[in-house]
Amino acid sequence: MSDIGHNSEATTGGIAADRLRSIIERIERLEEERKALASDIKDIFTEAKSAGFDVKVIRQIIRLRKQEPAEVEEQETLLDIYKRALGM
């Protein structure tokens, strides 16, 4: 006896087509959202630049804020040591 008709999801080659379609569509929606967010972020950086802010520095600050304070302190200490070693 076949499972066709007894199973709520159509299967092809052992693959639940409805489930696969759902997963793919969810990923596609999230990718579209990511594109929209990236565009929004780009617009904010453009706004910051037009307001006279240095975008490179803003990116550095954002990167630093994602790190743990101890990690930031260690990097700043190493940067200072390297700069002194180079006479900067």
pLDDT of residue 78: 96
Q: Look up residue 55 and give its amino acid.
A: V
pLDDT of residue 9: 57
**Is the confidence at residue 85, as pLDDT, over 50?**
yes
pLDDT of residue 12: 77
pLDDT in tens, 1-58: 444 444 555 777 778 899 999 999 999 999 999 999 999 999 999 999 999 999 999 9
Residue 74, CA distances (Å) to 12, 15, 25, 64 in order: 55, 51, 44, 12
Backbone angles phi, psi at 52, to 5 degrees: 95, 5
Q: How far apart are CA 86 and CA 88, in angstroms?
A: 6
